[in-house]
Chains A and B, each alone.
Chain A
Amino acid sequence: MTRSTSTFQLSHVRQIKAGITALDDLSLEIPPGQITALIGPSGAGKSALLRLLNRLDDPTAGEIRYRGQPIVDIPVRTLRCRVGFVFQNPVAFPGTVRDNLALAASIAEVPADEIDGRITRSARLADVDGELLDRPADRLSGGQLQRVNIARALTTGPETLLMDEPTASLDPETADTIGHTIACLSSQHGLTVVMASHRIAEAKELAGYAVMLDKGAVVEAGPASDLFQSSHPRLRAFLSGVG
């Protein structure tokens, strides 16, 4: 993979949080236009890695490039509009679902006459039921609110979406339907998705590329079809452990 074709390129990244090494000399390339699954045990560094990619945190050492450009050279608000983030625990901003999406549009400085269209589009992409748009966001179910969070992230018009265990707090059925939505975002709309997941079945089904992390380092990375067949002992131990 060449430098220019990677969405993200991480070189010797180290991240120390509160005296604990979360990422240790990690080098990695993340391909564009598909879903990359980050897998690994708790504390492996999946969330820490995702947070570096839209600069919610900065690494202690090393360099991260986005589409060939060092991310520290991209104005941070521009980067965050281009690289959306969906958290494990969805957050409702005050007001209705429409207010939530309109707020994201105003942050991204979407022209006033385009805001309604942008809201409709992002709600459709995230499979947010049209009837929900005028409901208070804080009265939605967990699954509905996570969809609203995905729609809100899409409203800024990102090229890449980072998702930190987006289905972890949901029941299996809701998690499956959101997984389907994520798959469509990538396959039909060309969005690059980097998703931390502890559901191996979900990662296998959705991801085109996969990265196994352990103790802040890359154990193995490659096309998902190859990685899940790998004979690497640490990877096999993890996969057999989680079923």
Chain B
Amino acid sequence: MLALPQSADVLQNAMIDLTVLDLTLAAGLILIAIGLSYRQKIGLTRDLVIGAVRTVVQLVLVGYVLVYIFALDRWYLVVATLLMMLAVAAWTAGGRQDHPTRQLYGILGLAMLLGSGLTLVYVGSLVVRADPWYDPRYLIPLFGMIIGNAMNAASLAAERLAGEMEARRAEVEAYLALGASPARATEDAVRRATRASMIPMVNSLMVVGIVALPGMMTGQIIAGASPLSAVRYQIVVMFMLVAAVTVTGTLVPLWYRDTFFTEAEQLRGTGN
């Protein structure tokens, strides 16, 4: 029987630091993509160039900001960073919708705040037990993963609900005309929107570690952590993402639904 190697034995090599020359060589990969896009007339050349530049600029800036925040080690700076991440996520999720309104941005932001915030508090205080509680080394990367997934869930849920409401106008009105409440009239649409928002996460749960090694786990392993330790973190990460996605994907359709009706329980857009 093969003995399981001790993690300390596996991890003798420290992480290889990448130099500017290494990054320049890596840029060759994006040049290949840009060249192919241009030659094949895919129509994404400009987006790829802008995206590549943004990637470099944003990540370098974030790197400096994180160094600054880590060094200052102040709880309010950490909280402000998390809130800024939330605001950008709400803005991005809202911008993906066909008819974003101020109310929709508010709904997306609040749903993500609850879904992500509760999950972060749970993981931070009960699972990881960071000390101090606001330790940016844990809170910021964990929240980044949570809010990224919650943003996708919020965006998918809102988009699907809007589509369902458009496609089911006749059905919803038929319910209303019988005396049904808007909640009853839209039960199925809301359920489908929540389901749509959760499908990518459920798919990830099914194939994690088999089809793809998640980014955090990969990063930890490259940084020198034991694969077994990285796996434990990844399990926590997967579970917290499921919680955040489910809460967000449930709240967005429930709250967004109300915006499709008047106070007199009439569908908007039919003369109301």
Contact = CB atoms under 8 A, between A and B. Distances in A.
Max count, chain A CB within 10 A of own CB: residue among B174, B181, B265: B174
Interface in B239-272: 262, 264-267, 270-272
Max count, chain A CB within 10 A of own CB: residue among B175, B181, B271, B272: B271
Contact of B265 (A76, A81, A84, A104): A76
Contact of A58 (B178, B188, B264): B264
Contacts of B270: 17, 51, 56-57
B264 A93 contact: no
A69 interface: no
Contacts of B175: 93, 107
B192 to A, nearest CB: 12
Contacts of B180: 77, 107
Task: Assign chain A's interface to a size class.
Answer: 20 to 34
B179 A56 contact: no
Nearest to B270: A57
Contact of A87 (B177, B181, B262): B177
B117 to A, nearest CB: 36
Interface residues of B, number: 21
Contact of A107 (B179, B188, B271, B272): B179
A128 B134 CA distance: 67
Max count, chain A CB within 10 A of own CB: residue among B176, B177, B184: B177
Contacts of A156: 178-179
A146 to B, nearest CB: 12
A152 B271 contact: no
Given A77-B179, A93-B171, A94-B188, A55 B271 contact: no
Contact of A77 (B170, B174, B181, B188): B181
Contacts of B188: 94
A85 interface: yes
A48 interface: yes
Nearest to B188: A94
B171 A56 contact: no
Interface in A59-85: 72, 76-81, 84-85
Given A55-B264, A91-B171, A107 B184 contact: yes
Contacts of A77: 179-181, 265
B179 A80 contact: yes
Contact of A55 (B171, B184, B266): B266
Given A18-B271, A81-B179, A107-B179, A56 B266 contact: yes
B190 to A, nearest CB: 14
A58 B266 contact: yes
B57 to A, nearest CB: 45
B170 A57 contact: no
Contacts of A153: 177-178
B271 A89 contact: no
A108 B271 contact: no
B272 A91 contact: no
Interface string B156-179: 000000000000001101111111
Contact of B266 (A18, A57, A84): A57
29 contacts: A16-B271, A22-B271, A55-B264, A55-B266, A56-B173, A56-B176, A56-B266, A57-B272, A58-B262, A58-B264, A58-B272, A76-B265, A77-B180, A78-B179, A80-B177, A80-B178, A80-B179, A81-B178, A87-B173, A87-B174, A89-B170, A91-B170, A91-B171, A91-B174, A93-B171, A93-B174, A94-B188, A107-B180, A153-B178
Given A55-B266, A87-B173, A87-B174, 10 more contacts: A17-B270, A56-B266, A57-B271, A57-B272, A58-B264, A80-B177, A87-B177, A91-B174, A107-B179, A107-B184
